Amino acid sequence: MEQQVFGFGIEVWDNLVVGILILFGLVETIAGNLNRTNRKFGDWIQEAGSFFALAGLIKPTIILAIVVLGNALFPAYMDVFTNWNIGLVLIGYLLIDDCLQYWYHRSAHEYPFLWKLHRTHHQAEEMGFFVSYRNAALYYVIMPNLWWGGIVTFMGGGLAVAIGLVLKQIVIIGSHSTLSWDKFFYRLSFLRPVMSVLERIIITPAFHHAHHGKSKLDGVSDPNGNFGNMFSIWDQLFGTATFTRQFPSDYGLPNDPKEHWTAAYLYPAVQSKDQNSELSKGYVKTRTATPEPLTVELKKGEAYLWCQCGMSKTQPFCDASHHGTKFKPIRFEAQRDGKAKLCNCKISKTSPFCDNSHESL
Ligand code: FES
């Protein structure tokens, strides 16, 4: 019986997720989005290959590891959920799974090693259903919520995990897809109140596309926010949510050295030979902040991103070097034409403008 529950869980997870992918793929193709794609071979390999490696190798290996470890170390916990109400197990599984993934994803933007495993996800210059799975292999191997899914399956909640994963993949694939189902709701005024509730619960395409936008300059994107995967409640709870109901004009990473897909997918086992790449051996980000402010020419009404991390090569403006740290740039619009003294010591209390705090250094 236990083994049937395990088998059923794994089988249903992957077959239904493949089914959802095929459905989104067909609809994206019919809508013409895939035909117009500029994806290169390396993009396809990473996006489709990563999905099949995840479903066919990484996930089954994690499940097997949990089964072996669970049997050896915690045999008393096997199948304890079997007689529980499946609705309760499903809700508990999903909430813990999604909260874990929120923090894991957020950490992947805030810590350098995890960022290197995740950055290929943000190198995609086009959205699409397969972008959902574009990450380095190691990113998935150590993803805590995958291990959590294995634990719940071991404890007899395989069916709840199977149902939960399918529901979650519908939301995740939908939020990466170019089909952007939510636009329909924004267009029709009588549906907007429905959207106001829905977007506060689940991740919508607009909410997640903003996370993939190239930079905050467009006033829509927030690559250092909107980290949620299934539910938007975590972003709202932990102060990282931005709802604009708009879509970025550009996707991808600024100054992307476009590493070979082998380095992007297999880091750290394979590293980039390009010395400008974060994935190359010995690459370090250096501090470029200086004690003195920098005087720059600003244009009234134009938006700028001021570097807060102190590592940009284009000081005092941001060049996206902050990825992999807890810093993010400050967006501001110039109020008048002319010269302005911008802080470059990064301790001004009136940033981005200099308040002479550097004199205390
Ligand atoms: S480079 Fe973006 S905040 Fe420093």
What single string gives the DSSP state of each residue in 82-119? TTS-HHHHHHHHHHHHHHHHHHHHHHHHHSHHHHHHHH
How much of the chain, in percent, has pLDDT values that exceed 70?
90
Nearest atom of ligand 1 to the alpha carbon of 329: 3
Distance 304 CA to ligand 1 centre (A): 12
- Does residue 10 have a pLDDT over 80? no
Residue 85: Cβ within 10 Å count:
10
Do 207 and 325 share a domain, yes or no?
A: no
Do 44 and 112 share a domain, yes or no?
A: yes
- Does residue 4 have a pLDDT over 50? no
Q: Is residue 160 a contact partner of residue 86, using CB atoms and an 8 Å limit? A: yes
pLDDT of residue 205: 96
- Does residue 30 have a pLDDT over 80? no
CA atoms of 331 and 216, how far apart (whole Å) = 7
Nearest atom of ligand 1 to the alpha carbon of 306: 3
Q: What is the pTM of this model?
A: 0.92
Do 201 and 294 share a domain, yes or no?
A: no
Q: What is the pLDDT of residues 59-75, one digit of tens each?
A: 889 988 998 999 999 99
Do 73 and 171 share a domain, yes or no?
A: yes
- Does residue 2 have a pLDDT over 60? no
Distance 2 CA to ligand 1 centre (A): 51
Q: What is the pLDDT of residues 347-358, one digit of tens each?
A: 999 999 999 999
Indicate the pLDDT class of residue 14, thresholds 50, 70 and 90. low
Distance 322 CA to ligand 1 centre (A): 4
- Which of residues 208, 237, 266 is at a domain's end? 237
Nearest atom of ligand 1 to the alpha carbon of 330: 3
The response to whether residue 311 sits with its C-beta less than 6 Å from ligand 1 reads yes
Residue 269 maps to a domain:
no
Nearest atom of ligand 1 to the alpha carbon of 312: 1
- Does residue 24 have a pLDDT over 80? no
280: alpha, beta or left? (left if phi > 0; alpha if psi -120 to 50): beta
3 state SS of 305: strand
Residue 270 maps to a domain:
no
pLDDT of residue 192: 86
Do 85 and 220 share a domain, yes or no?
A: yes
* Ligand 1 atom 2: residue of nearest CA: 318
- Does residue 21 have a pLDDT over 80? no
pLDDT of residue 39: 83
Residue 211 maps to a domain:
yes
The response to whether residue 312 sits with its C-beta less than 6 Å from ligand 1 reads yes
Distance 278 CA to ligand 1 centre (A): 15
Residue 273 maps to a domain:
no
The response to whether residue 315 sits with its C-beta less than 6 Å from ligand 1 reads no
The response to whether residue 217 sits with its C-beta less than 6 Å from ligand 1 reads no
pLDDT of residue 1: 40
pLDDT of residue 15: 66
Average the pLDDT over 41-55 and give the result: 89
Do 193 and 316 share a domain, yes or no?
A: no
Do 157 and 221 share a domain, yes or no?
A: yes
Q: What is the pLDDT of residues 299-345, one digit of tens each?
A: 999 999 999 999 999 999 999 999 999 999 999 999 999 999 999 99
Nearest atom of ligand 1 to the alpha carbon of 327: 3
The response to whether residue 345 sits with its C-beta less than 6 Å from ligand 1 reads no
Do 15 and 146 share a domain, yes or no?
A: yes
pLDDT of residue 226: 98
Of the candidates 111, 122, 318, 326, which has an alpha carbon nearest to the alpha carbon of residue 212? 122
- Does residue 198 have a pLDDT over 50? yes
Do 154 and 293 share a domain, yes or no?
A: no
Nearest atom of ligand 1 to the alpha carbon of 321: 1
Please identify which residue in the block is written with the tokens 């390009």.
274
- Give, for ligand 1, the residue of 255, 307, 317 to mutate: max count of ligand atoms closer than 8 Å to Cβ: 307
Backbone angles phi, psi at 256, to 5 degrees: -80, 120
Please identify which residue in the block is written with the tokens 């008393």.
76
Nearest atom of ligand 1 to the alpha carbon of 311: 4
Residue 90 maps to a domain:
yes
Domain assignment of residue 125, given as a range? 2-237
Distance 134 CA to ligand 1 centre (A): 24
Distance 324 CA to ligand 1 centre (A): 11
Residue 322 maps to a domain:
yes
Do 294 and 195 share a domain, yes or no?
A: no
Do 223 and 298 share a domain, yes or no?
A: no
How much of the chain, in percent, has pLDDT values that exceed 90?
75
Residue 210 maps to a domain:
yes
Total number of domains constituting the chain: 2
Nearby residues of 129 by Cβ (< 8 Å), 6 or more positions away: 21, 24, 25, 28, 173, 176, 177
Distance 110 CA to ligand 1 centre (A): 13
Do 169 and 30 share a domain, yes or no?
A: yes
Residue 228 maps to a domain:
yes
The response to whether residue 329 sits with its C-beta less than 6 Å from ligand 1 reads yes
Indicate the pLDDT class of residue 7, thresholds 50, 70 and 90. very low
Q: What is the pLDDT of residues 136-166, one digit of tens each?
A: 999 999 999 999 999 999 999 988 998 998 8
The response to whether residue 307 sits with its C-beta less than 6 Å from ligand 1 reads yes
